Amino acid sequence: MADPTAPPTPPVPLTALLAREDLGLRQIAGPPAADTAVQWVHTSEMADPYPYLLGGELLLTAGVHITDPAAGSGGHLDAYVARIVAAGGAALGFGVAPVHDTVPRALVDACDHYGLPLLEVPPRTTFSGVARAVWRLMAEARHTELRRVTEAQQGLATAAARTDPIPAVLRQLAARLGGIAVLYGPEGTELQAAGRTPGAAREALRELTAVVRRAAPTAPASASDTADAVHLAAYALGGGRGFALGIATDRREPGDHTIAGAAVVLLSLLTGEHQSTSEAARSAALVRLLLGASPHDVAPLLGSDRWTVVHARGEHTPLAASALAAALGSALADPRGADDVVRLLVPADREIAPADGWTLGVAEPAPAAGLAAADAQAARALRRAEATRVPLVHHHANGLAALVAPEEAEAHARVLLSPLSDNEALTTTLRTWLSLHGSWDRTAVSLGVHRNTVRQRITRCATLLTADLDDPDVRMELWFALNRTS
């Protein structure tokens, strides 16, 4: 099974749960807890919980489904543990009350055999108490991470204002990430460096940075690798002058990419030439638009006749949005769009690749006169990316949809979906549910609601639309309609 998509909160080390004296949990089987992280908590008494697991769960059970605790290896419990492992479960918690007085020996053996950590949950500890402890630990970790990122961004900004800004930014970055930060010149020479060298990875870092410099700006402007257990990251700086930033650390924390993104923006500004010509062209374009010129006439001033509209949602800070724009090779970005969506115009000849920490919806390249339609395409692509939990979705007008005139398709969609037009929650739930092939659990996780809420909303949609949502033809037509509306 593929690695599960992680939730937007840091995972909890299993050791942190075992250290909670109020829970009294005890590991009795499986590999060391130090190697295990918990991303969710799920309680189930199903004999086969596989269909209901997303991966990364601490699965809690009282063993109601175990009717023969003495069943040996190769029996029901063997298959039960094998299915949990196949679904990507992180650990199994077994409550010794009220169904069983002890953890069945066969379950212990199966967990040892398949490498699944097994926790004994004492009678005084409720499953809801375990879940609450996990959520609190996640909240604390998230708060700590956000505070660390904020303090790092402030420190980098202060360093950039010093009389020696580039060495100061590199020193601050190296200190915040606990490694080294190196600025490379256009010829690959090491211009400035700060921090300690972790291991023998300096040469590997130089080679990785050289790859990024050669690829930019026609390919992703960043790359990562590992050498001798050292984490490496390289970023091409904006401005097209060939400068690059290399980072090497002993460990990688969740907020590191955001901190590095802030440094990339600052170093791009500090190393870049004054772009007087392009800035003057953009100013002239804005003035002409305000004075009534058409977008078609203004577009050549911006350096391209065709553009790709990108909608992005992620770390919504001005520095993070600027880092994203630099990574995509665009100077035209709206960092504070509606619904916390960053909107960008990228020259059509640039390749759009996934960006760490962001979910992207990408429209088809369009001329200036078609940017409004492209904006709607990017919005739909972003919704699709969020619903399917992938980092990037491109809009493609192909297949049967391309055979229908856009205005006719939109008119049909408005009529078909009119019973839902005044209820955004129903429309969003229907779109997400269809995109996830009718999965109640995955839709509930995507929307952050209970699965029963999803069922109620879909039932309501079926009633209002007077449609049989089990009919694949109906589903296809609704999906077509939903993708023709903004």
Residues 132 and 35 in one domain: yes
Q: pLDDT (tens digit, 9 = 90+) per residue, 422-474?
A: 888 898 899 888 888 888 988 888 888 898 999 999 999 999 988 898 888 88
Could you tell me if 239 and 286 lie in one domain?
no
Contacts of 278 (CB under 8 A, 6+ apart): 303, 331
Q: Among the ranges 149-163, 184-198, 232-246, 471-485, which has the highest mean pLDDT value? A: 149-163
User: For the residues of 183-226, what is the DSSP string, one character each?
Assistant: EE-TTS-EEEEEE---TT-HHHHHHHHHHHHHHTTTS-SEEEEE
Do 457 and 350 have their domain in common?
Answer: no
Are 189 and 281 in the same domain?
no
Q: Is 51 within the bounds of a domain?
A: yes
Average pLDDT over residues 229-237: 87
Q: What is the pLDDT of residue 58?
A: 95
Percent of the chain exceeding pLDDT 70 equals: 85
Residues 291 and 265 grouped into a single domain = no
> Residue 182: which domain range?
162-271
Domain assignment of residue 155, yes or no: no
As a whole number of angstroms, the distance between CA 242 and CA 185 comes to: 7
- On whether both 84 and 190 belong to a single domain, the answer is no
CATH classification at residue 251: 3.30.450.30
Q: Which two tokens stand for residue 362?
A: 């990408």
Q: Is residue 157 part of a domain?
A: no
User: Are both 260 and 371 inside the same structural domain?
Assistant: no
Assess if residue 151 is contained within a domain: no
Residue 483, pLDDT > 70, answer: yes
Q: How confident is the model at residue 297 (pLDDT cuts 50, 70, 90)?
A: confident
Q: If pLDDT is split at 50, 70 and 90, which confidence band does 261 have?
A: confident
CA distance 131 to 128: 5
Q: Residue 216 — very low, low, confident or very high, per pLDDT cuts 50/70/90? A: low
Both structure tokens of 352: 């759009």
Query: What count of Cα atoms within 13 Å lies in the side-chain half-sphere of residue 325?
Result: 22
Q: What is the predicted pLDDT for the residue at 275?
A: 44
Question: What's the pLDDT at 132?
Answer: 93
pLDDT, position 15: 92
Q: Of the given ranges (228-237, 255-264, 329-338), which has the lowest mean pLDDT?
A: 329-338
Angle between helix 76-86 and helix 105-114 axes, rounded to 10 deg: 40
Angstrom CA distances, 222 to 74, 173, 213, 236, 353, stand at 48, 17, 9, 6, 10
Nearest partner of 242 among 262, 267, 266, 261, judged by Cα:
267
357-414 pLDDT, tens digit each: 789 999 988 887 778 888 888 888 888 888 778 889 888 765 555 545 566 767 777 8
Q: Which amino acid is at 229?
A: A
pLDDT of residue 394: 87
User: 157: phi > 0 → left, psi -120 to 50 → alpha, else beta; which?
Assistant: alpha
Residues 40 and 122 in one domain: yes
Domain count, the chain: 5
CB 441 within 8 A of CB 52: yes
Question: How confident is residue 345, by pLDDT bands cut at 50, 70 and 90?
Answer: confident
Final residue belonging to a domain, choices 88, 120, 137: 137
- Does residue 317 belong to any structural domain of this protein? yes
Find all residues with CB under 8 Å of 181, minimum gap 6, and list them.
170, 171, 173, 174, 193, 194, 195, 245, 246, 247, 263
pTM: 0.46
Q: Compare 483 and 218 and report the one with higher pLDDT.
A: 483
Does 146 reside within a domain? no
One domain for residues 437 and 469:
yes
Phi-psi region of 223 (alpha: psi -120 to 50; beta: other; left: phi over 0): beta
Residue 439 in domain:
yes
> Same domain, yes or no, for 177 and 243?
yes
Nearest to 434 by CA among 449, 448, 447: 447
CB atoms under 10 Å from CB of 457, counted, come to 22
b/e per residue 140-177 (b: at least 16 CB within 10 A): ebeeebeebbeebbebbeebbeeeeebebbbbbbbbbb
**Sign of the torsion angle spanned by Cα atoms 337, 339, 345, 346:** positive
Strands 366-367 and 306-314: antiparallel
Q: How confident is the model over 271-276, as a mean pLDDT? A: 52
Q: Is residue 147 part of a domain?
A: no
Is residue 9 a contact partner of residue 142, using CB atoms and an 8 Å limit?
Answer: yes
Task: Give the per-residue pLDDT at 323.
Answer: 65
Predicted pLDDT at 133: 92
Give 131-138 contacts, CB < 8 A, sequence gap 24+. Answer: 131/41, 131/43, 131/60, 133/17, 133/20, 133/22, 133/23, 134/12, 134/17, 134/38, 134/40, 134/41, 134/58, 135/41, 137/12, 137/16, 137/17, 138/9, 138/10, 138/11, 138/12
Over residues 115-152, the pLDDT tens digits come to 999 999 999 999 999 999 999 998 888 888 888 888 98
> pLDDT value at position 89?
93
Residue 456 pLDDT: 93
Are 23 and 118 contained in the same domain? Answer: yes
Average pLDDT, the chain: 82
Residue type, 472: P
DSSP string, 6-41: PPSS--EEHHHHHT-TTTT-EEEESS-GGG-EE-EE
**pLDDT value for 4:** 43
Average of per-residue pLDDT across 312-340: 71
* 67-123 pLDDT per residue, tens: 876 655 457 899 999 999 999 999 999 999 888 989 999 999 999 999 999 999 999
Write down the pLDDT at residue 90: 93
Which residue is it, tokens 């005044």? Answer: 422
Tell me the three state secondary structure of residue 283: helix
Give pLDDT, residue 276.
Answer: 44
Return the CATH number at 37. 3.40.1390.20
- Please write the tens of the pLDDT for every residue from 54-74: 889 999 999 998 887 665 545
Lowest mean pLDDT among 66-80, 123-137, 173-187, 300-314: 66-80
Residues 295 and 313 in one domain: no
Residues 361, 324 contacting (CB under 8 angstroms): no
CA distance between the termini of the chain: 34
Which residue in the block uniquely carries the two structure tokens 């010509």?
Answer: 277
